[in-house]
A = this chain, B = another copy of it.
């Protein structure tokens, strides 16, 4: 027993032989519906004990192959490099497991081709449902899954043909912009337009945030400076480059900024430090997304934190309700208190 690499794992047939009964009785006992199948408590106990002793583990591949539902639930996620997606994944796993589902997650690195490839892989593994988080092209993912009869739910970024759960990007951006404008006025006594940096000009969230950004300016009676709306992408390097180019074109840099994610903020902060252009007076910042260390960077930064627990509850509510229409659930984000 010690040195033998027991190539064969224990199966229900092995247990059946040991118990002097049939495989179907073993199966019924081990998957819990032995009462429905009229197996005696005596036999059930015997089999359970044997399974324990033999270290029996169900072969999910065989089980899933036979059943109609796999109870596997997939998620694709863009990155693991920030707290937002990190907590989405962690919550997702927890909630899935609580419901007896097995979660599988793939990181698609904001690459549309990888998104489709990952979706295809998940279909091969017979997922019952796929959550497309922050997908670049949610509708193509949805189409792929629909062809296989698998439901999709969009998270973070909405799609046109499946239910979506997203943050209230407009509302969050409106409030965040208001605060940064107020901070600018308080600190510098002037009402000047802010910079918007990060995100993609094509994605729904960025568009909505820009809309909130604009409306907050209008509300405050400040005219937008169109050259200050830089939807350059999310990556730190892209934000850093955008700042650099802007700085080359003007000597009068904005006194406040709206940064469209912590990951973009990383680039922005790097540029600020390296360039020294804000050495005299720090810019007032607003960041759409939360990070504990960003909160410690100073009292000149406001943050909006997306409500991940509520968002994921909404996702599982949709799964349980069985809804498939293109509804959009908007979850209000939390505006963090400074300090």
Contact = CB atoms under 8 A, between A and B. Distances in A.
A70 B80 contact: no
Interface in A270-322: 270, 273, 291-294, 296-297
Given A60-B126, A86-B86, A293-B294, 16 more contacts: A57-B120, A57-B123, A60-B61, A61-B61, A61-B62, A61-B126, A65-B65, A80-B80, A80-B85, A81-B86, A81-B90, A90-B107, A93-B106, A93-B107, A293-B296, A297-B297
A6, A70, A107, A292: most-surrounded residue (chain B CB, <10 A): A292
B61 A147 contact: no
A125 interface: yes
A35 interface: no
Contacts of A296: 269-270, 273, 293, 297
Interface string A71-104: 0000000011101011101100100000000111
Contacts of A120: 57
Interface of A: 5-7, 9, 55, 57-62, 64-65, 70, 79-81, 83, 85-87, 89-90, 93, 102-107, 109, 120-121, 123-126, 147-149, 236, 262, 266, 269-270, 273, 291-294, 296-297
A261 to B, nearest CB: 13
Residue of A90, A121, A125 most packed against chain B (CB within 10 A): A125
Nearest to A55: B147
Contacts of A124: 57-60
Given A60-B124, A294-B293, A149 B104 contact: no
Nearest to A54: B147
Nearest to A124: B60
A61 B58 contact: no
A162 B266 CA distance: 38
A84 to B, nearest CB: 11
